[in-house]
Structure 1
Amino acid sequence: MTTYYDDRSVQVTSTAIRVDDRVYPLAEISMVWHRRGSRSWRVLAGRGALGAAMAGPLAAAVLGVGLALWLDRSPTVTIAIVGASVLVGLAVGPVADFLFEYLDRSYARGSRQRELWVRCRGRHVLLLRTGDALRFGQIYRAVQRAVEQAPPPGATRAAARAAARPVRSRGRRN
């Protein structure tokens, strides 16, 4: 038995697909497809907030330098305001790496629900619904590989092995 995908709730093998407590034998699956849901505005708003969090300290630094020059105070006060503004701008560095990683994970998860459907025993069955685009892609590809490698319905193992063997020709090669 070959395992194509395995996590705590989904297992795809060369004999069956297990999702939570349900098991679907591959011999009974005739078709696989997926559907995408609508975008999640909550996820998109979160990405916008991350962008604002990254741009905020830089904007504050630029505004601080502008304010220092506009106030036209003594050189000591101007240098202090510019120095504080630059420090605020430099605060982006350590925080940006964390925020970029979080933003990258947000894109890997995706912004919409995805559904994996199969036709099992003549009925359309929803196998999985998830918002995690990376995990969905791994499971969908595993199901596709398992179904492609499975023998056709009604075929015996011996017939499936014989069909997989290369045919040797007898005769002259040109």
Structure 2
Amino acid sequence: MRTVVDKGVYVEAVFTYYSDRTVKVTSQSLKIDGQIFLLSDLGDVWHSESEPESSGSRRKGREIWAIWRGEERMLLRVTDKTRFGQIYRAIQRTLEQHPR
């Protein structure tokens, strides 16, 4: 999508699909803990569950993985199920609306 700024000058509109203090999902990139992943650098994106990090912890981690610049990489691990769902759905929406 393009937006006219002034006669003949166009800029790409950037849409934000999710934002909190450590994660931002936009129509151009993912920003996770300060690292920026351009959508154009991402291949497949998927999620998985991991076992608790310590034997005393009962909460499973939920992870978001992607092929980034040709290599498999974990982008994010969270234990909050609701937050995970919001972030993962935002990534799905941006990839559906803004194909790479």
Aligned residues: 86
Task: Return the TM-score normalized by structure 1.
Answer: 0.46
Do 1:27 and 1:150's aligned partners in 2 also have CA atoms closer than 8 Å?
no
2:24 maps to a residue whose letter is Q
> Residue 18 of structure 1: which of 31, 37, 50 is its match?
31
Do 1:117 and 1:125's aligned partners in 2 also have CA atoms closer than 8 Å?
yes
> Residue 34 of structure 1: which of 47, 53, 61 is its match?
47
Cα distance, 1:151 vs structure 2: 2.9
Q: Residue in 2 aligned with 1:145?
A: 93
1:124 maps to a residue whose letter is E
Task: Return the TM-score normalized by structure 2.
Answer: 0.77
Which aligned runs of 4 or more in structure 1 are off by greater than 2 angstroms?
A: 38-44
Q: Which has the larger Rg?
A: 1
**Larger strand percent:** 2
Q: Distance in 1 between matches of 2:50 and 2:68?
A: 22
Q: RMSD across aligned C-alpha pairs, in angstroms? A: 1.7
Gaps of 5+ in 1: 45-110, 153-174
Q: Distance in 2 between matches of 1:114 and 1:131?
A: 6
1:132 maps to a residue whose letter is D
Gaps of 5+ in 2: 1-13
Q: Which has the higher contact order (CA 8 A, sep 6+)?
A: 1
